[in-house]
Amino acid sequence: MCGIVGYVGARPVLSVLLDGLKKLEYRGYDSAGVVVLGEDLNLFKKQGKISSLESEISGLSLDGKAGIGHTRWATHGVPNDRNAHPHLDCSGKLAIVHNGIIENYRELKAELIEKGHVFSSDTDTEVVPHLIEEELSKTNDLLKAVLSSVNQLKGSFALAIIHKDFPDKIIAARVESPLVLGIGENENFLASDIPALLPYTKKIIVLENGEIALIEKSKISIFDSQGNQIQKHPKTVDWDARMIEKGGFEHFMLKEIHEQPNVLKETLEGHLDLPRRMVLLPEGPPDDLLRNLETLYITACGTAYHAGLYGKYLIEALTGLPTEVEIGSEFRYRERKFNPKSLGIVISQSGETADTLAALRRLKGEEIPIFSITNVASSSVARESDWVFHTKAGPEVAVASTKAYSAQLLSLVLFALKLSQARSGPFNPRTTELVQELQKLPVLAEATFNLEKNIQAYANRLRLLTDYFMLGRGLDFVTALEGALKLKEISYVHCEAYAAGELKHGPLALITSGKQVCLLATQRSLLPKIHSNFKEVKARGAEVLVLRFPEGEELEGDETLVIPSTSDYLSPLLAIIPLQLFAYYMAKEKGCDIDQPRNLAKSVTVE
């Protein structure tokens, strides 16, 4: 949802900005722009990816000690050069970049036009430079002008502002949209997300809602929404710059799929007490709270929602505790009652998804405590939760989530086991057996890559595919939903995931001769049922890819992928890997932009 960067210091400003924007390109990639403040404002913006902007300005060396940049995911105004950021005021002296949506831009624009301001884009953003220009004409103090302008804006925004008459300074403001400041030696940075800062510093300050920062090369001053200076202490992040390189893989997505065995290992680290066959979850809610719960509410979006659905199935199976799971965008607006003896579980890779955050706040408004599972320890979700499980997936760069999903599933296994221990004691054979199985997962996940060549060949054979079906029962249905999402979002193949038992209630009408179906068969207790579904689709002429454990030989598809044997409860952690690889290789066959699929952005910080 747009990425913004800013830099004040002695390095070549243009290259720091372009470098930062490339690290944030997953947030939006329909146009990009930069402004470097030297004698004048040097502004460049261009429709298309950052590479288009880069080729336009390559070889330029601009004197300047400060600059800001933007990579856009269009909301208001089509992606073109005019609507690309940065945007200027009428004087051409002030430039801003913005991530978010200014909801009251129509009223503000009308007032500003009345006062004589001339607009040159169709964006909501452009009201901001004109508004600041108006305020500046009253005070001649840029900080005050920004403060009073920001207080007139409604919506969500992260802003970076630069002005020719106030050299070597950037002013940044945040309401809802994320903004992180990076602290260097005699240089300072800002960015929408930590990866843009990692090549330069690991010392960060997260700007909170309503805060404004004045960034100079030797210091950063932070003010609250009333203009009072406040003290904030920097934190050190535990990610490093190597984590955001492709490391020899052709795409970030493939690299991240392959990182999963290690992500599982890292996420398990410190959470298994093998001698006692127990899990440890010191970052979770205390046992007495877990013991007294009557309901769980899980909320998340997209892939994280699928992880939540897995959590529901697993928690209910292992503990019997009724668990609801709902998409953030629905949950936030539902009229309903809540059980006060409950816990909210909020799942988000980025920790900044607007609908997930709103759902979290809805739960908090009901005084329900929150346990969150997030990959970004400094994110809004983490900061607003009572307890946080920090998944150890490392930065996820590809827009399609893969390794974060595995880490979320594993976190939910740990939580479900911890819940079971707290509620019915540690010596339940079902849960102690699972603890034993968990430690084997990283090795088993690695072994699923033996299927990669077959999957690549299967994708090659299906390269003209337009429609696909993924069917499964129980936890296999959850995997089907996630596998179908991956296929849709990166290879643009229309794919429907169904609970296999639902087939005959409608979708079976779509299964005709030559239709391609993937049938998941990793739930041992449901094998006879899935066998009937296999027969149903075969009888109608479908070609079937079966994904199963080594046992279950009676289910042989036109193609069969056999994943290593593990507990039915843990199979989603292994079964998703071949489906991620299938989506990847289909997208590759079709020449799609794998890491940055069309119309999508990684972190959905607007509603």
Q: Specify whether the CB–CB gap between 549 and 578 falls below 8 A.
A: no
Least spacing, CB of residue 579 vs ligand F6R, in Å: 12
CA distance linking residue 453 with residue 383, whole number of Å: 42
Write the burial class of residue 471 (CB in 10 Å: 0-12 exposed, 13-18 middle, 19+ buried). Answer: buried
Q: How far is the CB of 468 from ligand F6R (least distance, A)?
A: 17
For residue 345, the SS3 value is strand
Closer to ligand F6R by Cβ: residue 326 or 559: 326
Label the pairing between strands 516-521 and 494-499.
unpaired
Which residue, chain included where needed, has tokens 């269009």? 74
Closest-approach residue to ligand F6R (CB): 302
Nearer to ligand F6R by C-beta: 44 or 331?
Answer: 331
CB nearer ligand F6R, residue 32 or residue 604:
604
Torsional class of 515: left (φ above 0), alpha (ψ -120 to 50), beta (otherwise): beta
Measured from the CB of residue 385, what is the shortest distance to ligand F6R in angstroms? Answer: 13
Nearer to ligand F6R, 278 or 382 (CB): 382
In one letter, which amino acid is 309? L
Q: Examine the residue annotation and report whether 602 is marked as an active-site residue of this protein.
A: yes
Distances (CA, A) of 296 to 139, 299, 339, 340: 52, 10, 9, 10
CB of 379 to ligand F6R, least distance (A): 9
Which helix (H) or strand (E) segment is 446 a member of? Answer: helix 441-447
* Closest separation in Å from C-beta 348 to ligand F6R: 3
Q: Does residue 391 contact residue 373 with C-beta atoms inside 8 Å?
A: yes
Cα angle 567-573-577, degrees, rounded to a multiple of 5 = 130
DSSP letter string, 483-513: HHHHHHHHH--EEEEEEGGGGGGTGGGG--T
Q: In what order do the strands lie in the sheet with 180-183?
A: 41-47, 31-37, 66-72, 3-8, 188-191, 180-183, 203-206, 235-236
Shortest CB 250 distance to ligand F6R, Å: 19
Residue with tokens 């290593």: 564
Nearer to ligand F6R, 1 or 563 (CB): 1
The least distance separating ligand F6R from the CB of residue 464, rounded to whole angstroms, comes to 24
Residue 583 one-letter amino acid: A
Q: How far is the CB of 479 from ligand F6R (least distance, A)?
A: 14
CA distance 36 to 56: 15
Q: Which of 2, 301, 495, 592 is catalytic?
A: 2
Q: Smallest gap, in angstroms, from Cβ of residue 256 to ligand F6R?
A: 11
Our measurement of the distance from residue 101's CA atom to the centroid of its chain's CA atoms, rounded to an integer in Å, reads 19
User: Which residue's CB is nearer to ligand F6R, number 555 or number 600?
Assistant: 600
Comparing CA positions, the residue from 502, 496, 501, 507 lying closest to residue 470 is 496
Contact residues for ligand F6R, defined by CB under 6 A:
301-304, 348-350, 353, 356, 400-401, 485, 489, 603-604
Three-state secondary-structure class, residue 274: coil
Per annotation, catalytic residue among 45, 217, 588, 602: 602
47 vs 329, which CB is nearer to ligand F6R? 329
Nearer to ligand F6R by Cβ, of 503 and 601: the residue is: 601
Burial label for 13, CB within 10 Å (0-12, 13-18, 19+), is: buried
CB of 319 or CB of 349, closer to ligand F6R: 349
Q: How far apart (Å, rounded) are the C-alpha atoms in residues 373 and 300?
A: 10
Q: Known catalytic residues?
A: 2, 602
